[in-house]
Amino acid sequence: MDVTSALQRSANYTTKNARASRQIFESGIVVFRNNAQYKLGDDSWQFLDSLALAAIDVGRIDVAQDCFIRLSAEFPESPRVQCLEGILKEAREGPEAALNFYDQLLEADPTNTAVWKRLISVLRRLGRIERAVEELSKLADTFYTDVEVWLELADIYATHHQYTSALRSLSHVLLLTPQNPFYVLQAAETAYTAQDVPLAIRFFLMVVEMTGVDSDETRPPPPPTGITVRAWYGVELSAARLEANPALGSSSPSKTRVPEHLSQLRQLARDAINSAQVDRRDAETEASSAWLSR
């Protein structure tokens, strides 16, 4: 690969902030060996950071170390560079050494969120879940608007089958990002697993409303796609459970009311799912016909 092509590829990866380690390393090492990263302008430092992480992923610690030396010379007090140093320690000396390093950095600067998150990652890898949860809780209290922290906390709880606690964490996510249907869907599925079926069906219906395509009254609505189909499946399953076991409605931990006309709602969900399946089969048939006609 020539330098010009390598520069173009590296610039593309840097712009997209992609994590394709092998590809980033293969193009980046050409740029690095020819000392051509300065041609990337202001992105040259981001390039070195990305190359260092990619080099660690592919086992080229020597290249990662060279990138780190250049970055630390330019940004000696940067939290991001300190975090990179910690990741290098994880690769060379093991998680325990990195954990001690992160603890020292946080003692000097308790607001270093990049290092704090890395420390939590190492704690999870070592199986020290209680401290990981403790650190995440403190991080969430300190930086409440950091959605990533609440999602990580929810993931830890869900991984250890503490779905009610996971749902509480997700409730903060929904407060911070109420327009994200993917988070609402995650909350719906977590509520369903936590046995709060009325709350689950409410969230599933919210996803349908947020992702559905508007149509005029003279035409039928288009078949649902993507997460809308998944949400309709959730509606159908939740309605079926509530019909089969009405006691679930009166024992909702969140005190969510059960929707009226469950049977009609369930039929609506079935119709939406069926239309999605028919539309998919039609698309597959059309694609096969097009291929055969070549």
Q: What is the pLDDT of residue 292?
A: 42
CB 211 within 8 A of CB 181: yes
Token pair belonging to 273: 């799912």
Q: How far apart are CA 144 and CA 31, in angstroms?
A: 40
Question: Which residue type, as a one-letter code, is found at position 28?
Answer: G
Which one has a higher pLDDT value, 160 or 15? 160
* Start-to-end C-alpha separation, the chain: 35
Q: 33 lies in a domain?
A: no
pLDDT at position 262 over 60: yes
Residue 18 lies in a domain: no
pLDDT tens digit string along 11-63? 776 666 666 788 888 888 888 888 877 877 777 888 888 889 999 998 899 99
Question: Both tokens of residue 270?
Answer: 């079935």
Residue 252 included in any domain = yes
Instruction: Please tell me the pTM assigned to this model.
Output: 0.82
Q: How many C-beta atoms lie closer than 10 Å to residue 97's C-beta?
A: 13
Considering only CA atoms, which of 231, 229, 152, 224 is closest in space to residue 191? Answer: 231
Counting the structural domains of the chain, the total is 1
- Cβ–Cβ contacts within 10 Å for residue 20, how many? 14
User: Residue 194 belongs to what domain range?
Assistant: 181-294
Residue 214 pLDDT: 59
Q: Is 46 inside a domain boundary?
A: no
pLDDT band at 291 (very low <50, low <70, confident <90, very high): very low
Q: Is residue 207 part of a domain?
A: yes
What pLDDT, on the 0 to 100 scale, is given for residue 213?
A: 67
Q: Which long-range contacts (CB under 8 A, 24 or more apart) does 122-125 make?
A: 122/90, 122/95, 122/98, 123/99, 124/156, 125/95
pLDDT of residue 281: 60
Angle between helices 147-159 and 129-142 (to 10 degrees): 160
Banded pLDDT at 177 (limits 50, 70, 90): very high
The CA-based angle 114-119-123, given to 5 degrees, is 150
Compute the average pLDDT of residues 91-111: 93
- Residue 286 inside a domain? The answer is yes
At residue 120's C-alpha, the angle toward residues 114 and 124, to 5°, is 145
Distance between CA atoms of 136 and 155, rounded to whole angstroms?
Answer: 11
**How crowded is the C-beta side of 251, counted as CA atoms within 13 Å?**
7
Phi-psi sector, 252: left (phi>0), alpha (psi -120 to 50), beta: beta
What residue type is 44 in one-letter code? S
Residue 154, domain member (yes or no): no
From the number of C-beta atoms within 10 Å of its C-beta (0-12, 13-18, 19+), residue 216 rates as exposed
Q: Is residue 251 one of the residues assigned to a domain?
A: yes
